[in-house]
Structure 1
Amino acid sequence: MALRFIGIDPDTGQQGSPTVWVDEAKGELVLQGWKPDRELEAECAAFEVPGHAPGMPPHEAVIRIPARMVPVLRKACDVAEGTEL
């Protein structure tokens, strides 16, 4: 897998920062974020989405990304879709 680094939380320190990459071969975003607290994770798992089974599969995870990273996520979407200017 060849990942393309897109960006990191602009308010980051030296450790454990939300980061965004794109797997260009698969057209997928790869995200590193903060783990949610158990309450938020349970709320997400309990959320009902039409046409989907309730709960969260064991191979999926909830992460948190700060809103200040929206520009980084937009760029990652453009790269993944091949529409980057």
Structure 2
Amino acid sequence: MRLRFLTIDPDTNGDECPAAFVDEETGDLVFQGWAVTDPDDLAQVSQHSRIAENESVVRLPAHMRAAILEALNDHNSSVR
């Protein structure tokens, strides 16, 4: 399996929840989260980096930071 699960939002029911994965072939991070649709948020992102047609902006809850960092540190040897 190419994508390895790292963590899921601990404050949700485990179904359709924000989550983080790592691509074991490339080391890329893959995030499942809420699609950002607010025009003001998208405009702010675009000020720093234009959002390409094949890109999405995703929001994850702040309380997932520690879980994502912990998961990355625990699996650091396989994350490039």
Where do 5+ consecutive residues of structure 1 fail to align?
49-53
Tell me whether 1:82 sits opposite 2:77 in the alignment.
yes
Q: Report the 3-state secondary structure (helix = DSSP H, G, I; strand = E; otherwise coil) of the residue aligned with 1:82.
A: helix
| Displacement of 1:32 | 0.3
Which structure's residues are more often strand, by fraction?
2
- Runs of 4+ in structure 1 deviating by more than 6 angstroms, as ranges, are none
| 2:5 counterpart SS class | strand
Q: Give a deviation string over 1:48-75, Cα, whole Å, max 9, x none.
A: 3xxxxx5211111110011111122213
Q: Which of structures 1 and 2 has the bigger CA Rg?
A: 1
Distance 1:59 1:29 in 2: 16
**Aligned residue type for 1:75:** E
Supply the distance in 1 between the matched residues of 2:17 and 2:3 (Cα, whole angstroms).
17
Partners in 2 of 1:82 and 1:37 — Cα distance?
Answer: 35
Asked whether the equivalents of residues 21 and 76 of structure 1 are also in contact (C-alpha less than 8 Å), the reply is no
Give the aligned length.
77
TM-score normalised per structure 1: 0.72
Alpha-carbon distance in structure 2 between the residues aligned to 1:60 and 1:76? 25
Q: Give the superposition deviation at 1:14.
A: 4.8
Sequence identity of aligned pairs in percent? 35
| Counterpart Cα distance in 1 of 2:25 and 2:60 | 24
Bigger proportion of residues as helix: 2
Name the structure 1 match of 2:8.
Answer: 8
Structure 2: stretches of 5+ with no match in the other structure: none
Deviates most, 56-65 or 11-20: 11-20
